[in-house]
Amino acid sequence: MMEDQPIALELAKEQREISVASFFEKNRHLLGFDNPRKALLTTIKEAVDNSLDACEEGGILPEISVEVIEMGNDRFRIIIEDNGPGIVKKQIPNIFAKLLYGSKFFKLSQSRGQQGIGISASVLYAQLTTGKPARITSRIGKNHPAHYYELHIDTQKNKPEIIKDDTIEWNKEHGTKIELDLEGSYQKGDQSIDQYLKQTAIVNPHVSLIYTNPKAEQLIFPRASEKMPKKPIEIKPHPYGVEIGVLMSMLKVTESRTLQSFLMNEFSRVGSGTAKQICANAGLMPNIKPKQVSRGMAQKLEEGIKNTKIISPPADCISPIGGDLLEKGLRKEINAEFYTATTRPPEVYRGNPFVVEVGLAYGGQQDAEGGIRLLRYANRVPLLYQQGACAVTKSVVNTAWRNYGLSQSRGAMPIGPMTLAVHIASVWVPFTSESKEAIAHYPVIIKEIKLAIQECGRKLASYVNKKRKIQFESNKRDYIQTFIPHVGEALKELLKLKEADEKKIEKLLAEILEKKRGKLEAIEAKNLEYDEEFAKIGKSEDEENEES
């Protein structure tokens, strides 16, 4: 059988290329379109994230309107409009109707979008479920016309198919508007559009949002700060964490003439001294041509980099919210007794700088019986799905919350009246799927989140302990006050005392007990010290666990 006509020839006929659009058409759940409810949220999220990125890149305070209209029969129309810089005509089709096309993928600086997939995936989903094209309006300035496009995606080729291309009147000087019809399902509650917008407002105080829901109710999230976030600066990759394969392709395409200038030009934190040091450690000449570097030499270079001390990457590629603003955001949205927040110094995973921020709001009207409420953010975007799969959740669960006055079963979320917000800002957030719902379990990320939580946790512990002490004292005072008159009365009867004697005894008793109370306080203070010692011990235990 093998001989006359090898089977392989027959099988070969079936081999072909798969367009990335066909791939995601079949695998839509990878992009967050698992079900109609999530599809609606994902679409709004992708559009709003893009609008926010565009406004910030353009240095414009964002004003965004989101409208969701119920069309009947599980169909919804979504209209999202921003006051951003707009998009030049010829790029509109590619940006909205071609997967893996964008400006942020190769750029090492913080942004909400990063993959060039999200909004085109929404267009694809709308097209699949209603057959309707995406309607885009965009204008880049007063003296430029507003362009209107109707777009489909040709899934077999992953290319835009232009249904309509027009110039229209638009009373906006600059901005972009997208209109999509899609199958969806609208619900309030957790993981809803309302929640997503509310949480977006917490970490984006410079944003103004107007939201009209399918019931035609309007919710307005007004701007809380006129200050634009610091604009993140694009950086080059840091030598640490660059793998040999990447190094080899960089060497192949570089325009630098020598290995030394290659190292200086293509990486951050490499000056001539460091470059020479790397070459020396690698046993390579600084003046060889990059194109002459063989695989073996590249391997030496990789080793050379590892053995050279290079300072950490600059953090100005990242724009954290800042502890103050994060705390403000929590104060605005959550009614609690105690607030605190912290921003960690920058760290690096696989060559990518990142910063972790944590804020917490404790007590007040929050539910004391159930698990704490966890808000997860990546590059200022709330993450509403897949909490269980997220590095943030793992870090929270692995923190010893009992040291900070909350109850917690082993391996579970802590219990108590608390909201915990965790933000990770990075030039490249490693998500567990294209739908960007959970952060991958890189050990250094988990460690940083835990350290940030512990910083806030210690402040929380001292508040909770103080509160407990006050409670204890006031309980005691109550006790003394109810106790003394009874004793007085009893003694009066027993010893046949006069009214005056009774009062005298009561006063005496009060004095004795107050004195005793002083001693009690001293003992209690000692206890508190023990508590703090214990918290410290707990902390170092945590860190030890980390390593294992």
* Residue 328 or 376 with smaller CB distance to its own copies: 376
**Site for its own copies contains 98 (CB under 8 A):** yes
Query: Rounded to the nearest whole angstrom, what is the least distance from the CB of residue 392 to its own copies in the complex?
Result: 15
The distance of closest approach from Cβ of residue 177 to its own copies in the complex, given in angstroms and rounded to an integer, is 14
Task: Give the residue from 320, 383, 308 showing the smallest Cα distance to 347.
Answer: 320
- Regarding 150 and contact with its own copies (CB under 8 A), the answer is no
Q: Which of residues 482-511 bind its own copies (CB under 8 A)?
A: none
Output 132 or 459, the one with its CB closest to its own copies: 132
User: What b/e string do you get for 317-332 counting C-beta neighbours within 10 Å, with b at 16 or more?
Assistant: bbbbbebebbbbbbee
**Shortest Cβ 185–its own copies spacing (Å):** 13
By CB under 8 A, residue 283 contacts its own copies: no
- For its own copies, the closer of residues 154 and 324 by Cβ is 154
Question: Considering only residues 103, 281, 398, 465, which one is a binding residue for its own copies as defined by CB under 8 A?
Answer: 103
| Alpha carbons 490 and 495: distance in angstroms, whole number | 9
Q: Which of 37, 132, 198, 492 binds its own copies (CB under 8 A)?
A: 132
Report the distance separating Cα 227 and Cα 230, nearest Å: 9
Work out the end-to-end distance of the chain between its first and last CA atoms, rounded to an integer number of angstroms: 56
Q: Count residues near its own copies (CB under 8 A).
A: 83
Q: Note whether 178 binds its own copies by CB under 8 A.
A: no
Orientation angle between helical segments 244-253 and 295-306, nearest 10 degrees? 120
58 contributes a contact to its own copies by CB under 8 A: yes
Q: Whose Cβ is closer to its own copies: residue 9's or residue 500's?
A: 9
Stretch of residues binding its own copies (CB under 8 A), selected from 42-50, 130-138, 465-473, 481-489: 130-138
Q: Which of 63, 94, 236, 312 binds its own copies (CB under 8 A)?
A: 94
Distance in angstroms (rounded) separating the CA atoms of residues 219 and 65: 10
Question: Of residues 74-93, which lie at the interface with its own copies (CB under 8 A)?
Answer: 85-88, 91
Report residue 395: phi and psi, to 5°. Answer: -65, -40
Q: Is 156 exposed, middle or buried (0-12, 13-18, 19+ CB in 10 A)?
A: exposed
Torsion of CA 184, 186, 192, 195, to 10 degrees: 130
User: Minimum distance between the CB of residue 95 and its own copies, rounded to whole angstroms?
Assistant: 7
What is the rounded CA–CA span in Å between residue 419 and residue 360?
6
Alpha carbon 513 to chain centroid, angstroms: 54
The residue (of 8 and 500) whose beta carbon lies closer to its own copies is 8
Which C-beta is closer to its own copies: that of 229 or that of 363?
Answer: 229
Report how far apart, in Å, the C-alpha atoms of 244 and of each of 30, 91, 295, 301, 491 are.
30, 35, 8, 9, 89
* H helical segments located in 131-271: 193-203, 244-253, 259-266
Among 36, 37, 69, 115, the residue binding its own copies under the rule CB under 8 A is 115
Residues 232-251 that bind its own copies (CB under 8 A): 243-249
Question: Binders of its own copies among 372-391, rule CB under 8 A?
Answer: 386, 388-389
323 binds its own copies (CB under 8 A): no
Q: Does 478 contact its own copies by CB under 8 A? A: no
